[in-house]
Amino acid sequence: MDRITLERVEKRFKEGEHIVRAVDGVDLVLEQGDFVAIAGPSGSGKTTLLNLIGGLDRPDEGEITIGGDNTNDKSDDELTDLRLNKIGFVFQAYNLIPVLTAYENIQFILQIKGVPDHEHRGRILPLLKEIGLSGLENRFPSQLSGGQQQRVAVARAIIGNPAIVLADEPTANLDSETASNLLGMMRKLNREKRVTFLFSTHDPMVIEQARRVIRLRDGKVKKDERKNGGA
């Protein structure tokens, strides 16, 4: 079970002469198979919280455990292995590799995971079709719209079958139809494979369809609501 637990987690940054608590004493338990939206105004700590859970940053105080493993105890190389094997990321800025095509950006994950070459095409092309990018696999990021780049980023995040997907504003650059299709694909993975999805978002559609909504303000959890509806 890849349960995620945060205990008294803090992350501080210095801004000029001031210390800002971007994440301030957060306690959370995220169960495997959760479909969670983290909502809150800009500067509330949403992205910082995702980066801490994903091991891209380390907490100044407190502990984060994933599947029973305390990430504080892991070396940088061990955190890299954790991200490769268990976590998929969708960044707001896409973070695609500009010299690789859409196909190659997705394939890159399979290559570093050691998936045999003969399996790549059969996994990547159906996924590109599902997210509406058939025929665009040989285009470079600069030849794609923002929404298309975001879809490539989502495909890259899920191609390796991670247990957890962390998504920073995944629908921010998508039209409503594409965003709805993308959420549908994520809900399917969530239901069928129990992939845990954790979104930071301002999007009412994501918040509405989430089964759990965690509202942050000034780095603190102000409300944690589980819903009967949602995904």
Convert the pLDDT of each residue in 127-172 to its tens digit: 888 878 899 999 999 999 888 888 898 889 889 888 899 999 888 7
Nearest to 106 by CA among 35, 66, 161: 161
C-beta of residue 157 within 8 angstroms of C-beta of residue 90: yes
CA quadruple 166, 88, 101, 175: dihedral positive or negative?
A: negative
Residue 114 is classified by DSSP as: T
Task: Return the pLDDT at 224.
Answer: 93
Nearest to 131 by CA among 163, 165, 98, 103: 103
**pLDDT reading at 230 higher than 80:** no
**pLDDT reading at 228 higher than 80:** no
C-beta of residue 217 within 8 angstroms of C-beta of residue 203: no
C-beta of residue 10 within 8 angstroms of C-beta of residue 60: yes
Q: What are the CA-CA distances from residue 177 to residues 81, 90, 105 (Å)?
A: 35, 19, 24
What CA–CA distance (Å, rounded) separates 80 from 221?
28
Q: For the chain, give every domain's residue range.
A: 32-55+74-226
Per-residue confidence band for 14, with pLDDT thresholds at 50, 70 and 90: confident
CATH architecture of 32-55+74-226: 3-Layer(aba) Sandwich (3.40)
Task: Return the pLDDT at 38.
Answer: 95
Amino acid at 94: Y
Tell me if residue 223 falls in helix, strand or coil. Answer: strand
**pLDDT reading at 64 higher than 70:** yes
Percentage of residues of the chain with pLDDT beyond 70: 98
**pLDDT reading at 174 higher than 60:** yes
Q: What are the CA-CA distances from residue 182 to residues 21, 25, 131, 175, 178 (Å)?
A: 33, 33, 7, 11, 6
Burial 118-153 (b: 16+ CB within 10 A, else e): eebeeebeebbebbebeebbebebeebeebbbbbbb
pTM of the model: 0.86
Average pLDDT of span 93-114: 92
Q: Tokens standing for 103? A: 């196909």
Average pLDDT of span 46-69: 92
Average pLDDT of span 191-205: 89
What CA–CA distance (Å, rounded) separates 38 from 46?
6
Q: What are the CA-CA distances from residue 157 to residues 80, 94, 161, 164, 214 (Å)?
A: 15, 11, 8, 10, 22
